[in-house]
Amino acid sequence: MSISLAMTTTLAPFSFHTTPGLVFRPSAAGELGAIAASRLGGSVLFVTDPGLTRLGLGEPAIASLQEAGLKVTVFDAVEADPSLATLMKAVEIGRAANATGVAGFGGGSSLDVAKLAALLLGSGEDLDEAWGVGNAKGPRLPLVLVPTTAGTGSEVTPVSIITVGQEEKRGVSSALLLPDIAVLDPDLTLGLPPAITAATGIDAMVHAIEAYASRSANNNPLSKTLAREALRLLAANIETAVFDGQNMEARSAMLLGSMLAGQAFANSPVAAVHALAYPIGGTFHVPHGLSNALVLPHVLRFNAPEAAHLYAEIAGDCFPDLAGGDDTQGRCSAFIERLAGLSARVGLQQRLRDVGIGEEHLAKMAADAMKQQRLLVNNPRAVSQADALDIYRAAW
């Protein structure tokens, strides 16, 4: 991975923030005490989900923390698209345990709850004042995150998404939410079912694609480079990871690719694919990665008049035979169609109707998508409510 910049290039100012400590190795979760005990203090709130508890996947990590002399309080009630009530229950349990640190263990939902629990336990601030970009005040408690899926990149992003009320997804974005240490253990991903592997893998690819093409003023050479390396790793390994789930090389590449994509979009934010995916997940409880996959090709086709050159630049990173050549429009179109084909090959549903969404729901979804202005402002092409409805219709 390298950054090549012409000497005459005038670089726009940018900032780049990421998780300061990173450990990547098999079996690392079972060494969590040795890796993180000195950061977490004497009492740890361990945030995870009931499925992982049933599988016993977190037991080595918990035992390692206990062997290091830490008191561990487990909160394992995190659901998909975690609710505000779930977050506040985690905070309540953390307060009762006098938590001095927080460890998040699981997919993006568990890591998101862990991030905000660490913030609220450390600062006592009003969450209503922290929503949005750069509004959190802190400080937070020491925080360590251990992902068990290769998709969200949440272990290196400053964002936490919580479901407020019945449907609305609301986010806190602040560098305060970046953990002290991210522990990436590919062993933890070996048991992921094919459907979850596929959805989270496409989710990570979306992160990289949207980061590369983001209209954010903070789109920068580091994010672009990380996004391209992420796409190379993810596209080359997703099918193997889905259909040969015990393949450690593929699983490791997916976990690393997901993390690199997370670093990219943490600094060059995502856009309309995510904005239009949120009503699918929030209202119909479709997994986040699948929600992204359902609208991805349709959003990219909509963006193509403004972003064809960007999509053509990364086409060869995903599909090497598309590299090079002067036909920007052709490479862009081929890139979009290949992505749609990849999504189908790994077994994901292809239409909104396939996940129980009726045509009568599309208008409300379009209105709900417009609430995600913090994302839509980053899209290469402006999206109106009418545009959103047209994209949903194309995806239906």
List pLDDT tens digits, range 20-77: 999 999 999 999 999 999 999 999 999 999 999 999 999 999 999 999 999 999 999 9
Helices (H) and strands (E) in the chain, counts: 15, 9
By CB atoms closer than 10 A (0-12, 13-18, 19+), residue 202 is: buried
**Topology, domain 21-189:** Rossmann fold (3.40.50)
Q: How far is Cα 374 from Cα 58, in angstroms, rounded to an integer?
A: 34
User: Half-sphere exposure of residue 251, counting CA atoms within 13 Å on the CB side?
Assistant: 24
Which top CATH class is 194-395? Answer: mainly alpha
Q: How far is Cα 393 from Cα 242, in angstroms, rounded to an integer?
A: 29
Q: What is the share, in percent, of the chain residues with pLDDT greater than 90? A: 91
Q: What is the share, in percent, of the chain residues with pLDDT greater than 70? A: 98
List pLDDT tens digits, range 295-325: 999 999 999 999 999 999 999 999 999 998 8
Q: For the chain, give every residue range classified as CATH 3.40.50.1970.
A: 21-189
pTM, rounded to two decimals? 0.93
- By C-alpha distance, which of 154, 135, 65 is closest to 102? 65
Q: Tokens 């009530």 identify what position? A: 85
Q: For the chain, give every residue range classified as CATH 1.20.1090.10.
A: 194-395
Q: Cα 269–103–96 angle (5° rounding)? A: 120
